[in-house]
Amino acid sequence: RWRKQALAAIQRACELDEMNGDYHKLAGKLFLQAGMSIRAERYLKLALQWGGPDPEVEKTLAELKKG
């Protein structure tokens, strides 16, 4: 029930603070849980770009690519 609001909030947070890797990582996790893998992948890639190497993010991206 709160998922839609959470997704909108984290998306807005990422827009406001584009270089915050933690926000992008959280957005990736939330969009993945919501079944939106394309958006999740985009945010996870941004998390690596702005937050640097992260084994958890890299593992999640690898699992997404496997299908």
Question: pLDDT tens digits for 13-37?
Answer: 999 999 999 999 999 999 999 999 9
Residue 50 is predicted with a pLDDT of: 97
Write the DSSP symbol of residue 67: -
Cβ burial of 41 (10 Å; 0-12, 13-18, 19+) is middle
Record the pTM. Answer: 0.91
In contact, 66 and 37? CB cutoff 8 Å: no
pLDDT exceeds cutoff 80 at 67 = no
pLDDT higher at 1 or 56: 56
Least confident of 1-5, 8-12, 19-23, 51-55: 1-5
Whole-Å CA distances, 64 to 3, 10, 16, 23, 57: 21, 20, 26, 19, 11
Length of the chain: 67
